[in-house]
Amino acid sequence: MILVTGGAGYIGSHAVLELLNSGYEVVVIDNLSNGALESIERVERITNKKVIFEHGDIRDSAFLKYIFSKYAILSVMHFAGLKAVSESVSSPLQYYDVNVTGTLELIKAMSTAGINKIVFSSSATVYGEAATVPYVESMPRGQSANPYGASKGMVEQIFTDLARADERWSIVLLRYFNPIGAHESGDIGEDPKGVPNNLMPYISQVAVGIREKLTIFGNDYPTRDGTCERDYLHVSDLAEGHVLSLSMLKTPGLYTFNLGTGKPISVLEMVLAFQRVAKVELKYEFGKRRDGDLPAFWADASKAKELLGWEAKRDLAAMIKDTWNWQSKNPNGYNS
């Protein structure tokens, strides 16, 4: 049985779906601050399989003790955390509390329960501001441009030290880039609370009429068209990578993988591609740069292909098509 923290969120719910389709039993814990219980109910309908859901917070040691005593959990897939770069700049303590303290509580509860296998949802931001592209796993972690990235780097260091101190632990760190898209059914997808912090949900909300226009933060970066470039990855490809990474937990040690396409796409290119694929007009304007944003980064994911047998299969058109399918079917997300 796999415990998925944050399994009612965007990436977590897609991972739960892939786990169920791969024959795993799943327990989800989520405090629903960024997730929706409806996503779990829809996953159950898509897969025709049952998910065990428990409402709670990973910072709650008593709750975690209850979970590990009640269920026969073999390994953990850890998504629970805060993830908005700009929000982390304005609320750093909240990010360190949830992402770092929450993970420490989870590790302590796992240790008490005798469970030492975990896949951690990390981020490419741990490579830092000065890293050259494409990012390769052998690069050292650098100075992050924002508290979100710093919190992920701190957690990676905790896992690194843990694996060095206790050889019983099997730990996979998955560093990924910018997940977008939705399940091909259009029944689960990204449903941010309040104003979206990420590009694709904002674009799709403009397209469906919820938002008036998109502001592109900066058009004077040293990139092809002056807008930021990112490695956008279909969330279903990402979820499949998480399931494949479970194979590494059979052997104790610390394993790090990039999950990405290796093909950078600029913000402006994404806007123009969305208009073309979804056949909608988007109103957009250019604004000032946003604190914490780097000009460009993308992955070298050859290690994941070699050791996990994973590579991104879905192209940009599929990412946009599935995003628009989700948003147009669910204009107000899970509250539609």
Q: Which residues are catalytic?
A: 148
193-224 burial, b at 16+ Cβ within 10 Å, e below that, comes to eeebbbbbbbbbbbbbeebeebebbbbebebe
Q: Are 51 and 38 in contact (CB under 8 A)?
A: no
Burial of 336 (0-12, 13-18, 19+ CB in 10 A): exposed
Which two tokens mark 193?
């609370």
Query: Which amino acid is residue 152, in one-letter code?
Result: K
Q: What phi and psi values does residue 279 have, to the nearest 5 degrees?
A: 60, 50
Are 311 and 258 within 8 A, CB to CB? no
Q: Which residues pair with 179 in a beta bridge?
A: 233
State the Cα–Cα distance between residues 217 and 290, nearest whole angstrom: 6
Residues in the chain: 336
Q: What DSSP character marks residue 8?
A: T
In DSSP terms, which residues pair with 253 in a beta bridge?
170
Burial 126-137 (b: 16+ CB within 10 A, else e): bbbeebebbbeb
- DSSP structure string for 84-144: -HHHHHH-HHHHIIIIIIHHHHHHHHHHHHT--EEEEE--GGGG-TT--SSB-TTSPP---
